[in-house]
């Protein structure tokens, strides 16, 4: 057990978590998940993918401890009216990874937990592996081996893939090399790489790796209580380009409209990147709320275009998850921010 966990275990045993809950119970917590592993993705990127057993443990904890899981719309309405019940919580998912549909959605339905799935639509329509993530997975699978760049059409260098830095360096070179390619050419590159490295990205045809759900799969989710919302078309929201922002939201919304009957008015910033100068334009585009990757609880005074979330993943120990949910870590953040003299957290 790492030192931080030892401390948290002592604080929990002394009743610190229960006490923290009484001070923070009026804050809204928003949980953020990305993918559920189909095979070993949680070892590859534990912040992005979680094992289904870990996710099951988290949901069981919410049920056991009486957290009130609300839809995003319900929670925001309560926040506006300052009527948020204690232990209110919202569950969100980013991107639309296949494992969310096949593993998380049935479990949420079983528990009766509503949720929001922010969908990035270009990779849904392509029905192909998400290039940047699949590329890094292939290099990770061959860690400690070498890659002759000539085998994929780059230069004559042979790279050792032993450290995360070296693999990231190669991934960036390949991404840069292929940045102006169309999807077809990028997928051809991935195929070439899978053959060179001897890895199958499609070992189970029903569960291909690093794919987002198809439109048909997404269309079935609202029946189980999962509300589909906006995450831009190409997973980007430029900071200084209003036309680019408009185009991303309009395309994203147009694709989702084919399968969503309700309003598409909630946005999740791709990779959590945003700037307050974007808020008026988002409002004009009919957006009511936007979630970030900033940690913290949300209160009636919290800006709806900068909602805070807790990014849960396989990298988060259960004790850490409990510490966050109890509000103990929220109190620690407030204390730190107060000491730093920050007015607005």
The contact set with Zn ion (CB under 5 A) reads 94-95
Q: How far is the CB of 200 from Zn ion (least distance, A)?
A: 26
Secondary structure (3-state) at 2: coil
Residue 19: which H helix or E strand, with range?
helix 16-24
Q: How far is the CB of 268 from Zn ion (least distance, A)?
A: 7
Are 292 and 308 spatial neighbours (Cβ–Cβ below 8 Å)?
Answer: yes
Give the integer Cα–Cα distance in Å for 58 and 73. 22
Nearer to Zn ion, 126 or 194 (CB): 126
User: CA angle, 158 as apex, 155 and 161 as ends, to 5°?
Assistant: 125
Nearer to Zn ion, 95 or 312 (CB): 95
Q: How far is the CB of 257 from Zn ion (least distance, A)?
A: 20
Q: How far is the CB of 213 from Zn ion (least distance, A)?
A: 14
Residues 6+ apart with CB under 8 A from 334: 345
Nearer to Zn ion, 67 or 118 (CB): 118
Nearer to Zn ion, 73 or 95 (CB): 95
Q: How far is the CB of 290 from Zn ion (least distance, A)?
A: 13
**CB-CB neighbours of 125 under 10 Å:** 13
DSSP one-letter string for 226-285: EEEEE--SSS---SS-HHHHHHHHHHHHHHHHTT--S---EEE-GGG---GGGHHHHHHT
The token pair that represents 45 in the structure block: 């990127």
Q: How far is the CB of 120 from Zn ion (least distance, A)?
A: 6
Q: How far is CA 268 from CA 91, 105, 132, in A?
A: 13, 19, 20
Q: How far is the CB of 271 from Zn ion (least distance, A)?
A: 6
Give the integer Cα–Cα distance in Å for 305 and 1. 38
Q: How far is the CB of 260 from Zn ion (least distance, A)?
A: 18
Q: How far is CA 10 from CA 6, 19, 121, 247, 334, in A?
A: 6, 14, 45, 51, 21
Nearer to Zn ion, 42 or 122 (CB): 122
Nearer to Zn ion, 24 or 291 (CB): 291
Adjacent-strand bridge partners of 115: 226
Nearer to Zn ion, 73 or 94 (CB): 94
- 7: Cα within 13 Å, side-chain hemisphere: 5
Give the integer Cα–Cα distance in Å for 296 and 315. 18
Nearer to Zn ion, 119 or 260 (CB): 119
Adjacent-strand bridge partners of 94: 118
Nearer to Zn ion, 87 or 231 (CB): 231
Q: How far is the CB of 305 from Zn ion (least distance, A)?
A: 17
Give the integer Cα–Cα distance in Å for 164 and 167. 5
- 99: Cα within 13 Å, side-chain hemisphere: 21
Residue with nearest beta carbon to Zn ion: 94
């Amino acid at each position: 057990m790492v030192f931080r966990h030892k401390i948290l275990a002592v604080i929990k045993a002394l009743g610190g978590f229960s006490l923290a809950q009484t001070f923070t119970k009026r804050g809204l917590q928003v949980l953020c998940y990305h993918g559920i592993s189909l095979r070993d993705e949680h070892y590859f990127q534990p912040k992005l993918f979680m094992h289904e057993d870990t996710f099951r443990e988290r949901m069981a904890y919410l049920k056991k401890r009486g957290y009130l899981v609300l839809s995003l719309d319900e929670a925001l309405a309560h926040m506006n009216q300052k009527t948020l019940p204690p232990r209110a919580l919202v569950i969100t998912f980013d991107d639309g990874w296949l494992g969310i549909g096949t593993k998380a959605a049935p479990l949420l339905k079983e528990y009766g937990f509503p949720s929001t799935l922010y969908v990035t639509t270009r990779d849904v329509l392509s029905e192909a592996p998400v290039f940047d993530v699949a590329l890094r997975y292939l290099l990770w699978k061959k860690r400690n081996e070498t890659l002759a760049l000539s085998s994929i059409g780059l230069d004559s260098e042979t790279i050792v893939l032993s450290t995360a830095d070296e693999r990231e360096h190669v991934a960036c070179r390949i991404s840069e090399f292929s940045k102006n390619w169309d999807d077809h050419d990028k997928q051809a590159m991935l195929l070439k790489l899978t053959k060179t490295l001897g890895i199958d990205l499609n070992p189970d045809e029903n569960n291909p790796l690093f794919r987002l759900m198809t439109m048909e799969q997404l269309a079935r989710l609202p029946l189980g209580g999962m509300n589909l919302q906006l995450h831009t078309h190409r997973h980007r929201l430029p900071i200084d380009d209003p036309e680019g922002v408009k185009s991303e939201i309009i395309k994203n919304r147009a694709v989702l409209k084919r399968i969503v009957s309700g309003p598409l008015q909630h946005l999740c910033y791709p990779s959590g990147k945003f700037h307050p100068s974007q808020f008026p334009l988002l409002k004009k585009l009919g957006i009511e709320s936007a979630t970030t990757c900033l940690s913290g609880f949300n209160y009636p005074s919290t800006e709806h275009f900068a909602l805070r979330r807790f990014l849960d993943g396989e990298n988060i120990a259960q004790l850490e998850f409990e510490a966050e949910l109890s509000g103990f870590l929220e109190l620690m953040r407030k204390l730190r921010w107060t000491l730093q003299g920050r007015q607005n957290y």
